[in-house]
Structure 1
Amino acid sequence: MHVAIAALHRPSKPTGVCRHAANLARALAQTNQVTKVTLIVGAWQKHYFETFFSSEKIELLDVDISNSSSARNLWFLFGLPKLVNRLRPDIIHMSFPFPFFRPLFSASVVSTIHDLYPYEKPEVFGYPNVIFNRLFLQQCVSNSDGLTCVSKTTLESFNRYFPKFHLRKAIAVTYNYVDFSQLVPKALARPELGENDPFLLWVAQHRKNKNIDLLIEAYSTLIKSDRLKPSTKLIIVGSPGPETENLHEQIQTLSLQDRVLLLSSIQDSELCWLYQNCEIFVAPSSQEGFCLPLAEALYFSCKVVCSDIPIFREIGSSSCIYFSLEGDPLNNLSQAIVQSLEQPSKKTSGDCRFSKSKVAEQYLALYSALK
């Protein structure tokens, strides 16, 4: 089986969608049923993806177009069909929703639904952008032969807005997988971070639903009240987004320039080291489709504090400390961090739901149902 994965995406720095596409390619390549995976990305994304693969089954194909909204959407509509029909794959997998015309494709099309933000969190996109995001999502859902949702929570949300889809087409829940077994951790070399400095960690793009501002405020409160060691840092790893400017202003206002590190485009080996060495992994989101960083933190047996939302209950373990976003979320988060610091670390066993082999098996089952 030859699978073509469309992963051309606006960001020039890695995002959750990029990591999903790369993980999908690697999971499929390890199976006997898949003989070839063609991963299609933008020329501006090539460097990131080149560092990911060692399998001879995976071909990285970069498309050199203008990285603008109009150019990308025109390419999705007309350029992608020409390219994949020339490649003649058995399955075309869209790594996120974008507009396409189904009659132009000669093979079955599967799309990944990460979240329903265009409906549930329109402020993530702002107006009028959210109108186009809804149209693209509707068009993608209508034209796909099958869909995969990244969690049960996402599927439940999907069913609220597209209640009749499952009556006509195949749909499945397939988690993102976690596998750092081939990586050698590499210490993060930053002048602001001393060799023995403790730190809190959150991995998230700078978007409103990630509640990075709430975490910074809680961190500031704990530092000023001496409930964190004075040397404790806060590290946020994630690509810039709509909230970046506000976050820099907040950090400046709270005089935390030397304490809060906003990082992006770090190597996976460095991310691995951060998971292994953080005091606490804190996930304060108000909305998520899956949250791969939380699954990764659990893989490394991190102490975890996270907001009490359905997806975190679905992914998380009983060892996580959950805090409410209702009432006084700042105090709730601050207290949860202190509580986590006081608890002993626990070694957690691997969760088979997020294993590479399990995820590959689920994708192949969906693909086979469409052939």
Structure 2
Amino acid sequence: MNIGFDGKRAANNLTGLGNYSRSLVLQLSEFFPQNQYFVYSPKVKSHGQISSFFKKENIHLMLPRKSSLLWRSFGIKKQLKQDNITIYHGLSNEIPIGMPSSIQTMVTMHDLIFLRYPQYYKFIDRTIYNFKSKYACRHADHIIAISEQTKNDIIKYYHIDPSKIEVLYQTCDDSFKQLIPQDFKEKIREKYSLPQKYLLNVGTIEPRKNLLAVVRALPAIDPAYKLVVVGKKQPYAQKVMAEIQRLGLEERVIFLKDIPFSDLPSIYQLATVFVYPSFYEGFGIPVIEALYGKIPVVSATGSCLEEAGGPYSLYVDPHDFTALAKAVNTILADPDLAERMKEGGLSFAQKFNTPVLASQLMNSYRNMILPA
């Protein structure tokens, strides 16, 4: 079977949807090598992480045969037919317009945050996102939602028949699933001058991620613990910095940026607690990364994060930084609780393991092409 994918992010992005796209295709290529996987992208980024992905024998980079600004939405269809694609999978909320009936279409919907929190998006951006997402949900033969929360949002905002939507969770990169030797972690600690005791927050520094809540909780948390933040700064970071200064926390908050992906698992596993009080997520891969690293997680109610973190993580209202501080202090003060969270979290994370998710997705593909 020839399976095609929207590969713009797989071929160009080194975080987020890029990692998701490459991980998904790699899973399939390794566990189901009898198929051919065609990754369509208007261009490709020169980077080792991406070039190694395309070295797999059954993963093929497909660039436009005729250059066009609208190739991903229109021009790609002729190419898909020429390549004898059986199923085309839009990996990030969109599919080409007017797909031929001979090709089955699937779309992965990550979230509809632009509808729940429109204030975080420019008008033109959310208009485009809404058009593409609505079209994909209404015209794809099958929809993959990455969480029950996303499925519920698709039903609520686009009035899609629930029977058309299947929840298939995501996983994180396999590098987070290996416990790093202590001597290597200490080299990473030295490389970034990391403290002996710290809380960790990972994610773009933007309003939705709610880093302000962590900063405001910090004065009530044991002062022996610093806060390490890994993420790209957006304008919201200025508010965070102002709050840090107002609270006199300049010596307790450390910002890291442009961290090589290979160093990130060690930074997780050196942390004492992972804090992720996001207002809203489609899923929350950083939570999975922490669970695999045996790091206790404190996260937020109100979206899908309880699906990702499971019963061995703690959850607070994202507006309540006092509750956030209390949850962190509860873990710091109770080593037995911390150990139960580590072991239980790791056990829970196995439901997101690569072989499980790859098999679920391949079953979805097969069901699409079975005679009715």
* Secondary structure of residue in 2 paired with 1:362: helix
Distance 1:121 1:174 in 2: 24
Pair 1:171-2:162 in alignment = no
Distance 1:332 1:90 in 2: 51
Distance 1:107 1:239 in 2: 39
Offset, 1:364? 1.2
- For residues 60-103 of structure 1, the C-alpha deviation after alignment (integer angstroms, 9 at most, x for no partner) is 4567999xxx94xx232124334433433222111111362133
Listed as ranges, the matches of 1:246-285 within 5 Å are 246-247=239-240, 250-251=243-244, 259-285=252-278
Q: Corresponding residue for 2:111? A: 115
Q: Corresponding residue for 1:5? A: 5
Q: Contact (CA 8 Å) 2:29, 2:59: kept in 1 or not?
A: yes
* Cα gap change, 1:98 to 1:191, in 2 (>3 Å): same
With structure 2 as the length reference, what TM-score do the two structures score?
0.82
1:365 counterpart letter in structure 2: N
* Cα gap change, 1:354 to 1:10, in 2 (>3 Å): closer
* Cα gap change, 1:126 to 1:89, in 2 (>3 Å): same
Q: Corresponding residue for 1:338? A: 329
Pair 1:56-2:57 in alignment = yes
Name which of 351, 362, 365 aligns with 1:364: 362
- For residues 149-188 of structure 1, the C-alpha deviation after alignment (integer angstroms, 9 at most, x for no partner) is 0011211222112334346xx3211111243357967647
- Structure 1 unaligned blocks of 5 or more: none
2:106 counterpart letter in structure 1: V
Pair 1:194-2:193 in alignment = yes
273-282 vs 194-203, greater mean Cα deviation: 194-203
Distance 2:236 2:208 in 1: 10
With structure 1 as the length reference, what TM-score do the two structures score?
0.82
Q: Corresponding residue for 2:209? A: 210
Distance 2:302 2:244 in 1: 26
* Cα gap change, 1:207 to 1:196, in 2 (>3 Å): closer
Distance 1:262 1:119 in 2: 30
Pair 1:100-2:99 in alignment = no
Q: Corresponding residue for 1:87? A: 83
- For residues 4-44 of structure 1, the C-alpha deviation after alignment (integer angstroms, 9 at most, x for no partner) is 22131499653321121111112111223652223334646
* Cα gap change, 1:370 to 1:99, in 2 (>3 Å): closer
Q: Corresponding residue for 1:354? A: 352
Distance 2:179 2:53 in 1: 11
Distance 1:240 1:13 in 2: 17
Determine what percentage of the aligned residue pairs are the same residue.
24
Distance 1:7 1:196 in 2: 39
* Cα gap change, 1:184 to 1:318, in 2 (>3 Å): closer
Q: Contact (CA 8 Å) 1:276, 1:300: kept in 2 or not?
A: yes
Q: Contact (CA 8 Å) 1:324, 1:332: kept in 2 or not?
A: yes
Offset, 1:123? 2.1
- Structure 2 unaligned blocks of 5 or more: none
Instruction: Kindly indicate which of the two structures has a greater share of residues assigned to helix.
Output: 2
* Cα gap change, 1:91 to 1:118, in 2 (>3 Å): same
Distance 1:318 1:114 in 2: 23
Offset, 1:51? 4.9
2:217 counterpart letter in structure 1: A
Name which of 125, 130, 146 aligns with 1:134: 130
* Cα gap change, 1:253 to 1:65, in 2 (>3 Å): farther
Offset, 1:290? 0.7
Offset, 1:324? 2.0
Distance 1:92 1:184 in 2: 37
* Secondary structure of residue in 2 paired with 1:103: coil
Q: Contact (CA 8 Å) 1:306, 1:323: kept in 2 or not?
A: yes
Aligned-pair Cα RMSD in Å: 3.3
Q: How many residues align?
A: 356
Pair 1:234-2:227 in alignment = yes
277-286 vs 345-354, greater mean Cα deviation: 345-354
- For residues 252-307 of structure 1, the C-alpha deviation after alignment (integer angstroms, 9 at most, x for no partner) is 66665665344444333311112211111001011111101111211122111111
* Cα gap change, 1:38 to 1:236, in 2 (>3 Å): farther
2:116 counterpart letter in structure 1: E
18-27 vs 44-53, greater mean Cα deviation: 44-53
Pair 1:320-2:313 in alignment = yes
1:125 counterpart letter in structure 2: Y
Q: Contact (CA 8 Å) 1:116, 1:158: kept in 2 or not?
A: yes
Q: Contact (CA 8 Å) 2:12, 2:43: kept in 1 or not?
A: no
Q: Contact (CA 8 Å) 1:92, 1:109: kept in 2 or not?
A: yes
Offset, 1:190? 7.8
Distance 1:367 1:76 in 2: 21
Pair 1:287-2:283 in alignment = no
